[in-house]
Amino acid sequence: MSEKHLHIITFDVPYPANYGGVIDVFYRVKALTEAGVKVHLHCFEYGRGEQEVLKRCHEVKYYKRDTSFVNQLSLTPFIVNSRRSEALVKDLLEDDFPILCEGLHTTLVLLDKRLKDREIYVRTHNVEHDYYKGLGDSERFGWKKLFYLSEAWKLRRFEPILRKAAGIFAISRKDEDYFSSQYGKTVLVPGFNSADSVCSETGRGEYVLYHGNLSVKENENAAKWLIENVFSKLDLHCIVSGLNPSEKLKKLAEKYPNVILAANPDDAEMIELLRNAQVNILVTNQPTGLKLKLLNALYNGRFCLVNSDMVKGTSLDKLCIVADEPDQMIDEIKRLMEKDFTEGDIKDRDARMRQLYDNEANARKIIETIFNKGQKSMAHGS
């Protein structure tokens, strides 16, 4: 059997695996490597540095992302234009192995005529113009709002580049429907995660937890909303945890004696917080892509309380308690705090999660699509 080599171009250094997008990338690279694929990893670096653990790949190369203001002045989206690299293209031209682009962010290679005969696939993490429009809607005013809405317009205009791809791997059923209807050649490959099986604790925890990358406005707004409308009205310990919270969020949490802000936990601390909580609560106003923090909570936590948008298009609503209004959430939290999480709950969740989120099976799906020479084009749907 001939060796399988695959170039993977990532929008960020995928380690530490501590926010949604890179969790999917890191554990997919790990699963593909364990399945025997020789992964040539190409990382755009802008602050996370080179990482020793990534040397398990066949090859790792880093390229500086150019985030200077001038890259915002183009009609090409900033998230794409800032990842332009001649060095990357030269490295890709050294062989004729297939290429997997992570997100629309890394797809400039689809426009390079030197690579026109290469098989280039794209892993979509969101319908990006919807995601950026949502970020813009989350901002009240100012240059950030203008940037996000401008980027949304540019991304919508740029997205048809996907017609040039050999195929698209969508992260959620909803995204699969969208990309398949627009461009065909789309396969559903759910998000990759750190857990191979559900590792939840039985019994009861003593607090409610919200977690997310708090430097992302969508997550900061969710945390503020929960603190003001739910946590402040509970006589329970409530923890908000995640990366780089703003001073505003810290001050809001300090107003309420029952609310604790746990900033910048490492991977082990985050898992402990998830496992020891009685209720993991997650809300969003953006029903886009797949929220990988929800998978994290389902694999490691006890009860998961979410709003409708958090589970839209994911098939995970049966594993969560769904509530949209603050009063409903408060009632559900009080009810769940009195309930044991049992071995039966764990077995049921594990069985359902394995049907969808099996890293090994999903890696095989990618391998079969890219390396099955008898199947020249991707099926529509999955």
Same domain for 215 and 146: no
Q: Pick the more confident residue, 74 or 92.
A: 92
**Is residue 274, in this structure, part of any structural domain at all?**
yes
Domain residues for 67? 4-192+358-371
Q: Does 117 lie in the same domain as 53?
A: yes
21 vs 211, higher pLDDT: 211
Residues 35 and 182 in one domain: yes
Report the interhelical angle of 343-356 vs 292-300 (nearest 10°).
140
Lowest-confidence segment of 210-214, 250-254, 272-276, 285-289 by average pLDDT: 285-289
CATH code for the domain in which residue 130 is found? 3.40.50.2000
Q: Is residue 380 over pLDDT 60?
A: no
User: 351 and 362: one domain?
Assistant: no
Judgement on whether residues 236 and 186 belong to the same structural domain of the protein? no
Question: Burial level of 18, CB count in 10 A (0-12/13-18/19+)?
Answer: middle
Query: Does 377 map to a domain?
Result: no
- What DSSP character marks residue 37? E
Asked if 162 contacts 83 with a C-beta cutoff of 8 angstroms, the reply is: no
Q: What percentage of the chain carries pLDDT values higher than 70?
A: 96
Residue 66 dihedral angles phi and psi, to the nearest 5°: -95, 95
Q: How far apart are CA 280 and CA 271, in angstroms?
A: 12
User: What is the reported pLDDT for 1?
Assistant: 54
Count of domains observed in the chain:
2
Q: Is residue 171 part of a domain?
A: yes
Q: How confident is the model at residue 288 (pLDDT cuts 50, 70, 90)?
A: low
Average of per-residue pLDDT across 8-32:
91
Are 102 and 135 found together in one domain?
Answer: yes
Residue 342 lies in a domain: yes
Q: Verify that 35 and 161 share a domain, yes or no.
A: yes
Residue 59: both structure tokens together: 């090859």
